[in-house]
Amino acid sequence: MTDAENKQTRAREPWIIRTYAGFGDARQANERFHQNLKAGQRGLSIAFDLPTQNGYDADAEVAAGEVGKAGVSICHWQDMEALLADIPLAQINTSMTINATAPFLLAAYLVVADKHGAPWTELRGTTQNDLLKEYVARGTSIFEPNLSLRLSTELIRFTVERVPNWNPVNCCGYHYMESGAGPAEEIGYAFGNAMMLLDALRDRVDAGAFERTVRRISFFINSGIELVPEICKIRAYFALWRELCQSQYGIDDVAFRAGCQVRSLSLTEQQPEVNIIRIAYEALPVTISAAARVGALQLPGFREALALPDQAEQTLSLRTQQVLMHETGITEYGDIFEGSKVIEKLTGEIAAQARKIATELRSAGYARSIGIVAGELTRALAERQRKIESGALVQVGVNAFLGEIGLAGPSKEDFDSSAQARTESERIAAVQAWRERRKVDEFERVRALLGRAASDSSQQLSIMDATIDFVRAGGTVGEWTETLAQANHGRYVPPILEVRGALPPLVAQKAPQRMKIALGKAGLDGHINAVKLLAHALMQAGMEVVLAGFKQTVAQMVETALQEDVDVLAISSLAGAHMAIAERTLAMLSRRGASDVRVVIGGIIPEPDRPRLLAKGVRAVFTPRDSNLGQIVARIAELGPRAQV
């Protein structure tokens, strides 16, 4: 295909093809970006590592073992410059999946754009900037709700005024569905959040700026495997948002602007080859309706339940979209569902229920809504688990049509722990050298200004303006977070277990012996769905559960286990640091004279690491392959209590 033909083909593309990418340091991630762009990707979707998402620099103690995993490590503007090397910022569309530290990362992006000579008015992209779902589903919240609301709304106001083609917030329905929500709940929670943000901004800008703000709100939605309900959900998203903007704010003809990733919760470790089929089917609902088609789509790797995608998996995800876009012919027709009685009836029902949910959430207010949504998601997730374990909900390869297929081999980019350790050491040395090179007096001056802006209850001082100055002066993401936390009563830790109404039974039998278990998450990953379900299942089995919290260091978890005199320390790890966590936990327990505390670990753990963990002294290892809660509880119960002295 000639360059002219290639440009003409791209002009006809009805949505932006993305893959979610980022790992190691900025140079490594930049190489992956260029590979994906050559393969046909049309926009960047940046994954940041967990320390960056949680506001820690690479040399923070709590970041040990997680630097450059699950995303790219970015500490300051020069890292961002290396990440975007040779990428035309005025031409590319860049999505940044970043929330609590979104103001800092956007500021770094803008500083780099200045250095590239790319005017802010020409920049196109998105900062996710949705904190509500972080409190209830994703877990990378840092600050208390009122400060988080202020940071989100200040970023929105700043970009509408100064970066007009940027999407300042991506209200996420995606994460609610990943945590158990149905179609109406996904829409209702996303729209309720969007209206709370708009309500907070309405009196702070003039009418023209407010209308521009309404039109810049975008969404990040989910697309599941249940084709008809999902098609109707997408259509309800489009119709209801237009109606709400008109009825609540008096603004007509507002386009529903959304990107999408298909449902990761449906992807299984068992028979991972089937995930290729699931992903392709799940891409249909958000693309098949001409009147309800998302603006950008990214697909996961089919081995997501086992490990991060390698380059081959990312290329396959791109090819899946390209076949859908260019070979199926779905883009050549108008709205093929218009007038369908089945589709229109179900769409109307979902929209009406979603409107009710959004209105109730809006009435509750931002802070109170966190507990409401968290409780509902816990109940819904437990009900889904009950249906899977009873067989009422069929999952191929999990509770029906069992057995391995045998086509998928191991990832071609097996995790190299020595390479990751080198990357982490290099990142630590680099950020420490960065701090030493900058002008200390200028940095301290702008840091003081940032602190004053953050503590300004009148909100007359702009945190965004102060953040841009802070970034230019060489401040790091960890220092930015620390400055805001010091000005606002430290970091916020939301509760793990909130539930509305009784949970369905998750286990059939009581444990034969009374046991006490400390349960929590080590590392910086905030996904707590599995922890919530296991905690409730253990309690239903009659065990006493001590919640050690999440985003815990090994020392914190061991201290909880010893203070509470538990029989079992159960650790969840999703960030790939399980070997280091196990070694440190067992060594620390031994030094404290508590080697008889049974340690069990669960999470995204490659199968070859299971025997290695057991050989080190871990008593049980659970991966997504161990999907039956009753069986997990039974195996923990078999360990028995510690011997009483």
Is the model's pLDDT at 11 over the cut of 50?
Answer: no
Amino acid in position 416: D
pLDDT > 70: percent of the chain: 94
Taking the CB of residue 532, how many other CB atoms lie within 10 A of it?
A: 23
Pick from 13-17, 111-115, 280-284, 393-397: least confident: 13-17
Express each pLDDT in 267-310 by its tens digit.
988 899 999 999 999 999 999 999 999 998 989 889 887 766 77
pLDDT of res. 7: 46
What contacts 479, CB < 8 A, 6 or more positions away? 57, 447, 470
Is the model's pLDDT at 6 over the cut of 70?
Answer: no
On the 0-12 / 13-18 / 19+ scale of CB atoms within 10 A, 334 is exposed
If we measure between CA atoms, which residue out of 482, 450, 493 comes closest to residue 144?
493
Taking the CB of residue 461, how many other CB atoms lie within 10 A of it?
A: 14
What contacts 507, CB < 8 A, 6 or more positions away? 537, 540, 541, 629, 630, 633
Taking the CB of residue 146, how many other CB atoms lie within 10 A of it?
A: 13
If pLDDT is split at 50, 70 and 90, which confidence band does 327 have?
A: very high
Express each pLDDT in 33-84 by its tens digit.
998 888 877 788 899 999 999 999 999 988 888 899 889 999 999 999 999 9
DSSP state of 503: P
pLDDT of res. 1: 43
Pick from 11-15, 235-239, 543-547, 610-614: least confident: 11-15
pLDDT > 90: percent of the chain: 66
On the 0-12 / 13-18 / 19+ scale of CB atoms within 10 A, 472 is middle
More confident residue, 213 or 61: 213
SS3 call for 92: coil
pLDDT of res. 411: 55
Q: Considering only the C-alpha atoms of the chain, give the largest distance between any 2 of them, rounded to a whole number of Å.
A: 80
If we measure between CA atoms, which residue out of 5, 15, 6 comes closest to residue 38?
6
Give CA angle at 405 (403, 409), nearest 5°: 125
pLDDT of res. 417: 65
* Contact between 118 and 89 (Cβ < 8 Å): yes
pLDDT of res. 9: 46
Distance CA 494, CA 374 (A): 10
The segment with the largest mean pLDDT, out of 353-357, 555-559, 592-596, is 353-357
pLDDT of res. 463: 97
Buried b (16+ CB within 10 A) or exposed e, 560-589: bbbeeebbbbbbbbbbbbbbbbbebbbebb
Give CA angle at 288 (287, 291), nearest 5°: 85
* Contact between 354 and 115 (Cβ < 8 Å): no
pTM, to two decimals:
0.90
Distance CA 502, CA 523 (A): 30
